[in-house]
Amino acid sequence: MPLTNDSVFWTGKTVGVTIENYNDKWSIKSCRKYQKGGEEVITYDWIYTEEYDKDTKKRKMSEKPRPCSVFLGEKEQAIEALVAMLKQLGHNQDGEIPF
């Protein structure tokens, strides 16, 4: 799914998150928007992760960037994780989940 203002929950003026489904696996990804040549651009936040080098037996930065994301699992696992987060935020456990 392309990133649009409708697919991103904006947590600030230029930063937000989106939920993504890839091969029935769900994740939350960090996004941001900026102006480029007078056009609004929405993109993922890209990070370099740390990897273990088996040859040197040390940790090193990965060579390729990856979208900053948190894996939530399959659909039912993702729902459970999101409900648990709502409860941590103080959502009334007896009330309806707002989705």
- Per-domain residue ranges of the chain: 9-88
Close Cβ partners of 33 (under 8 Å, ≥ 6 residues apart): 5, 8, 14, 16, 40, 41, 42, 43
User: Residue 95 and residue 60: Cα distance in Å, rounded?
Assistant: 46
Cα torsion angle, 81, 86, 89, 95, sign: negative
pLDDT of residue 88: 87
- In the predicted model, residues of the chain with pLDDT beneath 70 are 1, 92-99
Model's pTM, two decimal places? 0.74
